[in-house]
Amino acid sequence: MRHLVACLIACLVTVPATAAEVTSFSLENGLDVVVIEDHRAPVVVHMVWYKAGAADEPPGKSGIAHFLEHLLFKGTDDMAPGEFSSVVAKNGGSDNAFTSWDYTGYFQRVAADRLELMMRMEADRMRDLRLTPEDIGTERDVILEERNQRVENDPGALFGEQRNAAMNLNHPYGIPVIGWKHEAAALELEDALAFYRTYYAPNNAYLIVAGDVQPDEVRALAEKYYGPLAPTPGLGDRVRPSDPPHLAERRLIFEDPRVSEPYVVRTYRAPERDPGAQEQAAALVLLSDILGGNGATSVLGQKLQFEQQKAIYASAFYQGLSYDDTMFGLIIVPVPGVTLQEAEDALDKAIAEFIEEGVDPVQLDRIKMQMRASQIYEQDSVQRLARRYGAALTSGLTLEDIEAWPGILQAVTAEDIMAAAETVFDRKNSVTGWLQKPQSAEVTQ
């Protein structure tokens, strides 16, 4: 099967002389392979994406998906601890990995003639990881320092964890990817191995190779190195615990003396991009751009920063790529002298006015023009393109969905956007958080 992204782009804007060509095929053991060609430079990005992330962790083991990601750089039956990255570096490449709620990904960026070596090593650690108790102890300390750096030292990040937990009544999106500190500190070797044995398998992964490669060459190499790997039998559908209906809005106040700029965030539960049904998500993408895309032209920026001058910053955000239900968010950072209550009221008033006033068709046209242009600009970074494919596929979308997406965005009407707004802005489905300094400390200062 050959998929041509080129056609879609050509239909929308100027015909590019070249465009990324996307090919896909599957191995007998269930590994799905996507090849994205870009022959402008002799470079290749080799990525393996596992359909397993923090939302797939067993209860009480938060952080194990991310911990395992670190442990994959320890040894295998064929390689010593640390050897993987050393070999990549010795070949002039860079490598790293990332974990989200829905996926765990590993990638190397190297000269195109080193692809075979990368495949050999990545295939080796898909099934043959060898971990020792010593690996576990030291790396757990590293994880805790990573949590210190990313979360414990940053009141905004701690605030985000609290809001997220309140947003999800039952769904595991409510746990942090890096894990709750008390659970991450207690993770053991067997926890990591159990997760690894189940989810790190060819029938639970996507291989994405992007750059100066030919699909036939990738197929031959993939069959040689990934082909012999055994799938995990009986791996069922990804079904996580789901939320009951949200019957009451949630509100929280997070106080920390390290807070400099207080702010208000409101998140609403929202649908994500679903396979074969991305229209509502597309309307929400446009809604978030209209409300918060650019401070000087967006609805919230114009009303709150320019006209009322109540906000240093006001915006909206939405992440449509998600396996299960996602969030639509609003944020306002008030100017000094405006309280968080006044800021929240101004935000609500601005949204209410928008619901009355509707979409400015000229603004909508500009946003769609930018989306068409981004199709051209994106061709300049095959790595970003590869990452977008990986995130979409592991969020449950198909290649057809990915290719249809730009067209679906262009087809969204003002009415679609207003209908999406009416549906999503339901306070019962929302969490409102205030981040502020301890109020007693404020008085004594």
Partner 1 sequence: MSRLFLAVLATLALAFPARAAVEIQQVSSPGGINAWLVEEHSIPFVALEIRFRGGASLDLPGKRGAINLMTGLIEEGAGDLDARGFAAAQEALAADYDFDVYDDALSISARFLTENRDASVALLKSALVEPRFDADAIERVRGQVLSIIRSDSKDPDEIARATFDRMAYGDHPYATSLNGTEQSVSALTRDDIVAAHQGTLTRDHLYVGAVGDITAAELGALLDTLLAELPATGRPEPAEARLHFDGGITVVPYETPQSVALFGHAGIDRDDPDFFAAFVMNTVLGAGNFDSRLMTEVREKRGLTYGVYSYLASKDYADLVIGRVASANDRVAEAISVIKDEWARIAAEGVTEEELENAITYLTGAYPLRFDGNAQIAGIMVGMQMSDLPIDYIATRNDKVRAVTMDDVKRVAARLMDPEHLTFVVVGQPEGLETTN
Residues belonging to the active site: 69
Q: Which is nearer to partner 1, 364 or 418 (CB)?
A: 364
Choice from 6, 144, 418, 419 touching partner 1 (CB under 8 A)? 144
- For the CB of residue 315, give the shortest distance to partner 1 in the complex, in Å: 13
For the segment 266-295, give every residue that binds partner 1 (CB under 8 A). 294-295
Choice from 2, 197, 224, 258 touching partner 1 (CB under 8 A)? 258
- For the CB of residue 309, give the shortest distance to partner 1 in the complex, in Å: 7
Tokens at residue 218, please? Answer: 């990738």
CB 118 within 8 Å of CB 110: yes
For the segment 297-336, give every residue that binds partner 1 (CB under 8 A). 297, 302, 305-306, 309, 312-313, 333, 335
- For the CB of residue 400, give the shortest distance to partner 1 in the complex, in Å: 25
162 is a contact residue toward partner 1 (CB under 8 A): no
Which of the stretches 118-126, 138-146, 225-233, 321-329 binds partner 1 when contact is defined by CB under 8 A?
Answer: 138-146
Q: Which residues is 316 bridged to in the sheet?
A: 330
Nearest-10 crossing angle of helices 189-199, 64-71 = 90
Q: Which is nearer to partner 1, 43 or 397 (CB)?
A: 43
Which parts of 263-364 are beta strand (E)?
Answer: 263-270, 311-318, 326-334
Map 137-166 to HEC letters: HHHHHHHHHHHHHHHHCCHHHHHHHHHHHH
Which of the stretches 136-144, 169-177, 240-248, 268-276 binds partner 1 when contact is defined by CB under 8 A?
Answer: 136-144
Q: Which is nearer to partner 1, 55 or 300 (CB)?
A: 300
User: Which string of DSSP letters, residue by residue, matches 17-48?
Assistant: S---EEEEEE-TTS-EEEEEE--SSSEEEEEE
Choice from 257, 356, 443, 444 touching partner 1 (CB under 8 A)? 257
Q: Which is nearer to partner 1, 148 or 341 (CB)?
A: 148
Q: Go through the chain and tell me how many residues it has.
A: 445
User: Which string of DSSP letters, residue by residue, matches 379-443?
Assistant: GG-HHHHHHHHHHHHHTT--HHHHHHHHHHHHH--HHHHHHHHHHH--GGGEEEEEEE--HHHHH
Q: Which is nearer to partner 1, 377 or 398 (CB)?
A: 377
- For the CB of residue 340, give the shortest distance to partner 1 in the complex, in Å: 15
- For the CB of residue 80, give the shortest distance to partner 1 in the complex, in Å: 12
- For the CB of residue 142, give the shortest distance to partner 1 in the complex, in Å: 5
The 8-47 site mask, x for binding partner 1 (CB under 8 A), equals -----xx-xxx---------------------xxxx----
For the segment 362-421, give every residue that binds partner 1 (CB under 8 A). 362-363, 365-367, 369-370, 372-374, 376-377, 379-381, 383
Full strand arrangement of the beta sheet holding 430-436: 250-255, 430-436, 263-270, 326-334, 311-318
Choice from 138, 214, 242, 398 touching partner 1 (CB under 8 A)? 138
Which of the stretches 24-32, 239-247, 358-366, 410-418 binds partner 1 when contact is defined by CB under 8 A?
Answer: 358-366
Secondary structure class of 3 (helix, strand, coil):
strand
The closest alpha carbon to 168, from 71, 244, 273, belongs to 244
For the segment 107-126, give every residue that binds partner 1 (CB under 8 A). 109-113
The closest alpha carbon to 70, from 85, 60, 87, 91, belongs to 85
**What is the spatial distance between Cα 336 and Cα 53, in angstroms, rounded to a whole number?**
40
Choice from 77, 78, 128, 152 touching partner 1 (CB under 8 A)? 152
Cα angle: 277, vertex 280, 286; to 5 degrees: 130
The closest alpha carbon to 310, from 264, 254, 360, 250, belongs to 264
**What is the spatial distance between Cα 286 and Cα 229, in angstroms, rounded to a whole number?**
43
91 is a contact residue toward partner 1 (CB under 8 A): yes
Q: Which is nearer to partner 1, 6 or 169 (CB)?
A: 6
Secondary structure class of 207 (helix, strand, coil):
strand
Task: Determine the size of the site formed for partner 1 (CB under 8 A).
Answer: 71
How far, in Å, are 215, 224, 412 from residue 111 at the CA level? 17, 20, 41
182 is a contact residue toward partner 1 (CB under 8 A): no
- For the CB of residue 171, give the shortest distance to partner 1 in the complex, in Å: 28
Tokens at residue 121, please? Answer: 């090593």
Choice from 11, 58, 77, 92 touching partner 1 (CB under 8 A)? 92
